């Protein structure tokens, strides 16, 4: 096997966290769909698919490295929310938590001198920067809309979630 057993175990745990994040986003997407907020709903369904892709990326990596994939039990996500802001705050907290988990994986790979995994994890570090930033942006949009969530939904249709309109040219 190309990478240490300890790293494989930690990645298997991370696969669980990514699927768990995916389920949480499906639950939030369904909540917003029920509340007749189609853009917010679509945004979270898209995030759910992305988290599933993250899990698959880790699964493929373990297989490529010659390890064994063991998917852990996933807890039920939170499905009811008093307010939109609570659902988005939960999502932001989740992204910050996942960032800490990815940092911990890098730290483990570093102590194990596992440079292949350190290199593999670079993509996830960049992805977390993007996801924390865009979720923070969405939280501000929802907070600014206050009780009028249709405003937030319309804003998402017009502008979308972006920390900046576009990446500055090189
Ligand atoms: Fe993720
Ligand atoms: Fe994420």
pLDDT tens track, the chain, 170 positions: 899 999 999 999 999 999 999 999 999 999 999 999 999 999 999 999 999 999 999 999 999 999 999 999 999 999 999 999 999 999 999 999 999 999 999 999 999 999 999 999 999 999 999 999 999 999 999 999 999 999 999 999 888 887 566 677 77
Q: CATH for 5-158?
A: 1.20.1260.10
Q: How far is the CA of 93 from the centre of ligand 1 (A)?
A: 13
Question: What pLDDT is recorded for position 19?
Answer: 98
What one-character DSSP code corresponds to residue 127? H
Are 43 and 33 in contact, with CB atoms under 8 Å apart?
no
CB 120 within 8 A of CB 67: no
Given this model, what pLDDT does residue 97 score? 98
- Residue 165: per-residue pLDDT: 62
User: Whole-model pTM?
Assistant: 0.93
Ligand 1 centroid distance, CA of 100 (Å): 12
Of all ligands present, the nearest one to the C-alpha of 57 is 1
CA distance 170 to 165: 15
Query: What is the Å distance from ligand 2's center to 29 Cα?
Result: 14
Q: How far is the CA of 65 from the centre of ligand 1 (A)?
A: 20
What is the model's pLDDT at position 138? 96
Give dist(CA 117, CA 122) in Å, integer.
9
The domain locations on the chain are 5-158
If one counts every other C-beta atom within 10 angstroms of the C-beta of residue 39, the result is 18
2 neighbors 28 (Cβ within 8 angstroms): no
**So what's the pLDDT on residue 170?**
72
CA of 80 to the centre of ligand 1 (A): 22
Instruction: Quote the pLDDT of residue 163.
Output: 59
Tokens 């939109």 belong to: 84
How open is the CA angle 146-151-156, to the nearest 5 degrees? Answer: 115
Calculate how far, in angstroms, residue 32's C-alpha sits from the geometric centre of ligand 2.
18
């Amino acid at each position: 096997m190309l990478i240490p057993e300890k790293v494989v175990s930690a990645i298997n745990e991370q696969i669980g966290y990514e699927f768990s994040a995916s389920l949480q986003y499906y639950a939030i997407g369904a909540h917003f769909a029920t509340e007749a907020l189609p853009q917010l709903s679509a945004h979270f369904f898209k995030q759910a698919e992305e988290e599933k892709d993250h899990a698959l990326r880790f699964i493929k990596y373990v297989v490529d490295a010659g390890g064994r994939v063991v998917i852990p039990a996933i807890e039920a996500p939170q499905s009811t929310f008093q307010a939109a802001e609570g659902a988005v705050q939960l999502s932001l907290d989740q992204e910050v938590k996942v960032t800490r988990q990815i940092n911990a994986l890098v730290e483990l790979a570093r102590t194990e001198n596992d440079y292949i995994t350190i290199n593999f994890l670079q993509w996830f570090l960049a992805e977390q920067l993007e996801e924390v930033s865009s979720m923070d942006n969405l939280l501000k949009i929802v907070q600014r809309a206050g009780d009028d969530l249709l405003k937030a939904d319309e804003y998402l249709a017009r502008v979308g979630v972006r920390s900046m309109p576009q990446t500055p040219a090189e």
